[in-house]
Amino acid sequence: MTNPTLAPQSDEYQQIHDGIIRLVDTARTETVRSINAIMTATYWEIGRRIVEFEQGGEARAAYGTQLIERLSVDLSQRYKRGFSTRNLWQIRTFYLCFQHIEIPQTLSAEFSNLIPLAKTFPLPCSAYVRLLSVKNPDARTFYEKETLRNGGSVRLVDRQIAPQIYARTLLSPAISAVLP
pLDDT, position 61: 58
Cα four-point dihedral sign 9, 12, 15, 18: negative
- Burial bucket for residue 85 (CB in 10 Å: 0-12, 13-18, 19+): middle
pTM: 0.68
pLDDT category at 11 given cuts 50, 70, 90 is: confident
pLDDT, position 5: 65
pLDDT category at 86 given cuts 50, 70, 90 is: very high
pLDDT, position 108: 46
Average pLDDT over residues 95-116: 67
Q: What is the pLDDT of residues 14-40, one digit of tens each?
A: 999 999 999 999 888 888 888 888 888
